[in-house]
Structure 1
Amino acid sequence: MKRALLEALQTARAEKRPTALVTDLSDGRQALMIAGIHHGDLALSDDLRAAVEEAIQADRSGPLAADENLFVHVHNPPLRLIVVGAVHISQALVPMAQLAGYEVLVVDPRKAWANAERFPDVTLVDGWPDEALRSLDPDHRSAVVVLTHDPKLDDPALGVALASTAFYIGALGSKKTHGKRLDRLREAGMGESVLARIHGPIGLPIGAKSPSEISIAILAQMTQALHGAPPLVRAVPPDPGAVAAQ
């Protein structure tokens, strides 16, 4: 790799910018794609650039399907989980997400809840959720989980999250609570296509009850969204009457 490309790659990684190094295996020429901008001596057509961007979005390194002579090595920033609300569920969810490879940040202005005793080895942000989220700038490698159950904190946070490219946005609450939340956000001017991005009630429907079980359901749903997996279809038990009639 040429020195200029190496330095550009190192800078992009330090700044946590989505980057891909494309190498022509036939002659060694290389191109570096940083936030859609092309660097290097390997020319890429619009179709190839689109294929590289798709690889970045999918976090997938390997030969490009559009041209198997080209190998793309994706350098994405780490996955981030921004948790709004230093609550009991957060205490269970944070270590689980860290084990899954997420950089976790907990946002809560209530210092009695958001402190190092309850959340050791976790980045704590004590600003108001909307201001904190604007500064954290969630991207396509970010998940935002809103857990305070307080509209004064949750609604502004959701407003900022929905304006971002976060791959997952989830909010705690029953169906009734979530319905009221959607009504408030509609009154604030948000359309249905935007509101449909909120996973609420949060988590996969696995019958979770305890904070740990709810955290498992949340992390599973985040994983499903990250990899674009289809929603799970719950099996319907056979009708005993129909079976007897056969």
Structure 2
Amino acid sequence: MRLDLLAALNAERAARRACVLVTELESGAARLVTAEHVAADPRAAALATALAAGRSVMVGEGESRAFLTVHVPPPRLLVAGAVHISQALAPMARMVGYDVTILDPRTAFANAARFPGVPILADWPDVALPAYRLDPFTALVALTHDPKLDDPAIAAALAAGCFYVGALGSRRTHAKRVERLAAQGFGADLIGTIAAPIGLDIGAASPEEIAVAILAQVIAAWRRPSAPGARP
């Protein structure tokens, strides 16, 4: 691979942006196509399909064949709130391949003893999230019931286009949350993408069961065709 292509590819991967390395097999010519430039590429349809599937693939026939090497960032799960549900959710999510991080400034709850091996952002969202860099390949789960922590995290996730945003709480609690987000300028359509009450409706009662319901909903959001890392 040419050094300029390798440098560009490494930059996209470091920034957690999806891209495709296109190699024309007849000529050996290669180019890197970022997600924002897919529509302008001669192989736009094939590139869009490959990115949606998240899989490298051979396209074309005969002399027009090309190999599309797809690079999609691995999914992350940011959990706002070091609560009992989070303690069950974190190891489950890691088991199925999510890079999990806990966000909670309350170090009495957010500590290595309660979350072994899990990175912890022990600060408020407005301080911690700029460096964390939410993106469309990240899911945000808000579990504290505290608007001072949940609301800024949810607002940041909506603004960043996270593929899943879910919040714990009753319908009444969420209605108040909707009012607060609307007052911040978020539109009804975007607010309507928030999964609340959070999790699939499986009758979950214990923290562990609620964690299962949440993780199942996150996985479903990641795998659906419109998701940035969707898989068939």
TM-score using structure 1 length: 0.81
Q: Deviations over 1:64-98 (max 9, x none)?
A: 47997222111222211111101110001111111
* Unpaired runs of at least 5, structure 1: 39-43, 231-246
Secondary structure, counterpart of 1:189 in structure 2? coil
Aligned residues of 2:52 and 2:225 also touching (Cα < 8 A):
no
Determine the structure 2 residue equivalent to 1:243: none
- Structure 2 match to 1:19: 19
- Counterpart residue identity of residue 24, structure 1: E
* Structure 1 contact 19–74 (Cα < 8 Å) conserved: yes
How far apart, CA to CA, are the structure 1 residues paired with 2:10 and 2:147? 41
- State the SS of the aligned residue for 2:160: coil
Q: Which runs of 5+ in 2 are unaligned?
A: 227-232
**Structure 1 stretch displaced more, 1-10 or 128-137:** 1-10
Q: Is 1:48 paired with 2:43?
A: yes
* Structure 1 counterpart of 2:55: 60
1:1-246 paired onto structure 2 within 5 Å: 1-34=1-34, 36=36, 46-49=41-44, 51-53=46-48, 55-64=50-59, 69-228=65-224
Give 1:194 shift: 1.2
Supply the RMSD in Å over aligned alpha carbons. 2.6
Give the SS at the match of 1:163. Answer: helix
SS of 1:170's equivalent in the other structure is: strand
Query: Matched residues in 1 for 2:132 and 2:216: separation?
Result: 24
Identity %: 49
Is the deviation greater in 96-105 or in 184-193? Answer: 184-193
Q: Which segments of structure 1 move beyond 4 Å, counting only runs of 4 or more?
A: 64-68
For 1:109-141, what per-residue CA distance to the aligned partner results, in whole angstroms no more than 9, with x for missing partners? 101010010011111101212332233221121
Q: Cα distance 1:3–1:188, how it changes in 2: closer, same or farther (>3 A)?
A: closer
User: What are the Cα deviations for residues 28-51 of structure 1, in whole angstroms up to 9, with x where unaligned?
Assistant: 22111245469xxxxx95352464
**Hey, what's the Cα distance between the residues in 2 that align with 1:157 and 1:12?**
25
Between 1 and 2, higher relative CO (CA 8 Å, sep ≥ 6) is seen in: 2
More moved, 63-72 vs 1-10: 63-72
Aligned AA for 2:136? H
Of residues 180-189 and 28-37 in structure 1, the stretch that sits farther from structure 2 once superposed is 28-37
Q: 1:205 and 1:5, CA in 2 relative to 1: closer, same or farther beyond 3 A?
A: same
